[in-house]
Amino acid sequence: MLRKTKIAVFVSGGGTNLQALIDAQNRGGITAGEIVLVVSSNEKAYALERAAKAGIDSCVIRRKDFDSQDAYEDSLKAKLAEYGVELIVLAGFMSILSAGFTSAYPERILNVHPSLIPSFCGKGFYGLKVHEAALAYGVKVTGATVHFVNEVPDGGKILLQKAVAIEEGDTPEVLQRRVMEQAEWILLPQAVQMVSEQIQKG
């Protein structure tokens, strides 16, 4: 039995993508990695309850509790080191990470973005704003992208993409849900398994 890649999931809110990963892990969709830690930027995040129900350790590290970005990121790094984390997954994580942090984990940080990058991505495009922009522009197809995180917002190497059709009468909320169900929750576990395997091979 190969050892498992140790994974930390960074969250800020409801944790639906975290749940997709937990579910995938439980049904054998992720075998090369294991979620060992959930890190939240918000003490009220429902994602913390999801972690507790799954028996996964969690902690809350808030940017506002630190005097500087460096001090905040040093605290994150210390917690990751404590758990021997090798792969970080950003799952609706709303705190900004500096180039200093992302460069410390090259091709070890994954993010899922709710569009087909390079459309509707980059600074300011997150959450419902992405879906509002897609509908306003009138595109017929949107989707989700899993990519590595680097110093450029949504600028890292693309790993997986999946298209989702936009339907007549879609609202941003309806579209957001469809993109999650048909793309994000499918792609993210696949990418985590893929990168966990690569890390094991060294």
Q: Is 80 left (phi over 0), alpha (psi -120 to 50) or beta?
A: alpha
Q: Is 131 a catalytic residue?
A: no
At residue 85, the pLDDT reads: 98
Q: How confident is the model at residue 1 (pLDDT cuts 50, 70, 90)?
A: low
Quick: pLDDT tens for 60-117: 999 999 999 999 999 999 999 999 999 999 999 998 899 999 999 999 999 999 999 9
At residue 202, the pLDDT reads: 79
Quick: pLDDT tens for 120-129: 999 889 999 9
The model's pTM: 0.95
Cα 199 from Cα 190, distance rounded (Å): 14
Domain ranges (residues) in the chain: 5-201
Q: State the chain's mean pLDDT as an integer.
A: 96
At residue 144, the pLDDT reads: 98
Q: How far is CA 5 from CA 79, 106, 127, 180, 200, in A?
A: 16, 15, 29, 25, 7
Domain 5-201 grouped into CATH 3.10.20.740: no
Catalytic residue among 4, 113, 131, 147: 113
